[in-house]
Structure 1
Amino acid sequence: MILPIVAYGHPVLRKVAQDITPDYPNLKEFIADMWETMYYSNGVGIAAPQVNRDVRLFVVDSEQIINNLDDDEKNEYPNDKGVKQVFINAHVTELNGEEWAYNEGCLSIPKIREDVYRAESVTIEYQDENFEHHEKTFNGITARVILHEYDHIEGKLFIDYLKPLKKKLLKGKLDDISKGKIRVDYKMMFAK
């Protein structure tokens, strides 16, 4: 089932999400709905707060980015093959490497894209959909997508990394998004 995506201005996007247990209601169906919603919306990741649930769960498919890079771009990320993965109860344990800029967007903040600086690699502890524990290091674009989605479960948005002047210049567009004055090709939920 395709779920409505919460728009900028909704309070759930600013909450620190809670860990869940294997008995979380209808977890398997919820994860399937998140995948379906993400693909329907042309996203490469989506976090539970974006579909109005304040739990520490997100899904990432960075394979679709890596597979669509041309050969020169693939050489820029030689250690990044991409992942298609569920992350439950994730907690970043380490950030490494130089921060680098990449033009990011967000399904909850449609039609705004900006350069955001993030670390080259992230080490993260998480559980998969079977609640098996993992600690892995990810690099390049995959690390960036993971960090973007991780921010959602920490109550942060990519626009929080922008300089004050840039945020001020975007204020009108952000206000329009929070008021529902925007048209997108997917279902959205606005703050009441």
Structure 2
Amino acid sequence: MSIEGWDITALGAGRVLPVVTAPEPVLSRVGEAVDPTDPRVVALAADLVATMAVSPGCVGLAAPQVGVGMQLFAVDVTDHPKAATVHGAFVLANAVIVEASRWRPGREGCMSVPDLTGDVKRAGRIVVTGELPGSGRKVTITTDAFEARALQHEIDHCNGLLFLDKVSGAHAIYQRKVYL
């Protein structure tokens, strides 16, 4: 099944949570699989969406980034200039990449590593399976370009990895530019 017909507003209003930064231990642990129909998981999904909404430039946020070791993340690349395919705002639980192709490097940043960016090689086309919080409906998402990169980044968070774990070396890490 696709993500079509799922309404993110069904999650309800969420709370804005503080984002943890490296080297917080939760960021380097594999998150636990969740029951997407559990009301606590649904509430956390709403919290992820609310936290993203108040974070400028944020296109994805995983549960470990708010201090919760679970396999849950939100993504929304709507209106991002690098996005080609856009599925709108959504949250996935227990997501797994089942196909990946068209590998290419690209610059990434992260709210949990606020001072750095890095070049990471990622698939330019992926197929991901996961479950929608609230309904527990299993979905398959096929995407590419920037949305594919965002999903891979958030799935990495759920698996205890930061983009820094994926760069090819120190030469591929940069100080984040600050715009005043």
State how far apart, in whole Å, the 2-side matches of 1:81 and 1:6 are: 27
Match of 2:68 in 1: 53
| Aligned residue identity for 2:65 | Q
Alignment deviations for residues 41-85 of structure 1 (CA, whole Å, 9 cap, x no partner):
2211000000111111000001131xxx2xxx67xx4xx134311
Deviation, structure 1 residue 163: 2.6
State how far apart, in whole Å, the 1-side matches of 2:21 and 2:123 are: 26
State how far apart, in whole Å, the 2-side matches of 1:164 and 1:102 are: 14
Asked whether 1:107 is paired with 2:122, we answer: no
Among 9, 17, 22, the alignment partner of 1:8 is: 22
| Aligned residue identity for 2:97 | V
Among 116, 132, 143, the alignment partner of 2:120 is: 116
State how far apart, in whole Å, the 1-side matches of 2:120 and 2:32 are: 26
Unaligned runs of 5+ in 2: 1-14, 176-180
Question: Percent sequence identity over matched residues?
Answer: 31
Among 12, 21, 29, the alignment partner of 2:35 is: 21
Aligned partners of 2:131 and 2:139 also within 8 Å:
yes
The structure showing larger relative contact order (alpha-carbon pairs under 8 Å, at least 6 residues apart) is 1
Count of residues in correspondence between the two structures: 159
| Aligned residue identity for 2:59 | V
Asked whether 1:96 is paired with 2:101, we answer: yes
State how far apart, in whole Å, the 2-side matches of 1:135 and 1:95 are: 13
Unaligned runs of 5+ in 1: 174-192
Aligned to 1:29, the other structure's residue is in SS state helix
Give the root-mean-square deviation of aligned CA atoms.
2.0
TM-score (normalizing by structure 1): 0.76
Deviation, structure 1 residue 23: 5.0
Among 22, 42, 46, the alignment partner of 1:32 is: 46
Structure having the higher Rg: 1
Aligned partners of 2:26 and 2:64 also within 8 Å:
yes
Among 155, 162, 170, the alignment partner of 1:165 is: 170
More helix by share: 1
Alignment deviations for residues 89-112 of structure 1 (CA, whole Å, 9 cap, x no partner):
111111112x22222100000021
Q: After the TM superposition, which residues 72-151 of structure 1 pair with which residues of structure 2 at under 5 Å, given as runs?
A: 77=84, 80-97=85-102, 99-129=103-133, 130-151=135-156
- Following TM superposition, the consecutive aligned residue runs of length 4 or more in structure 1 with deviations greater than 6 angstroms are none
Aligned partners of 1:17 and 1:154 also within 8 Å:
yes
Deviation, structure 1 residue 155: 0.7
| Aligned residue identity for 2:52 | M
